[in-house]
Amino acid sequence: MIEDVQDMLCDRCRRPSLVTDIKYVAKGDGTRMALCSKCRSKSTVMDKITPHKVVKSEKDPYTCGRCGYKFRFDPYGVTALKCPYCGKDDKLHQG
């Protein structure tokens, strides 16, 4: 008796695996690859998607001495430091 179980090639290790052991895994670029269970457990560690590190912009608290307006300013941002309320920058102090 020949067993009626087809073997499939794993796309990563190229070993014939039982069709029941193969799963199609999305590769992120729109294509899929057939991976055996061993490679699937490996790939979750190896191909772990590392999200882009978001640089947290620390905003410093400022107080405008002219109008008393309190605001937060991002020193790494593109805008120049000035009071968003009165538009002046000569009486600003941190805190």
List interacting residues with Zn ion (CB under 5 A): 10, 12-13, 36, 39, 64, 66-67, 69, 83, 85-86
12/73 with CB nearer Zn ion: 12
The distance of closest approach from Cβ of residue 25 to Zn ion in the complex, given in angstroms and rounded to an integer, is 11
The distance of closest approach from Cβ of residue 21 to Zn ion in the complex, given in angstroms and rounded to an integer, is 9
Q: For the chain, where are the E strands, in sequence order?
A: 7-9, 16-18, 23-26, 32-35, 60-64, 70-73, 92-94
The distance of closest approach from Cβ of residue 11 to Zn ion in the complex, given in angstroms and rounded to an integer, is 7
9/74 with CB nearer Zn ion: 9
74/91 with CB nearer Zn ion: 91
Spatial contact of 66 and 56, defined as CB atoms under 8 Å apart: no
The residues, any chain, with a CB within 8 Å of residue 8's CB and separated by 6 or more, are: 16, 17, 18, 19, 22, 34
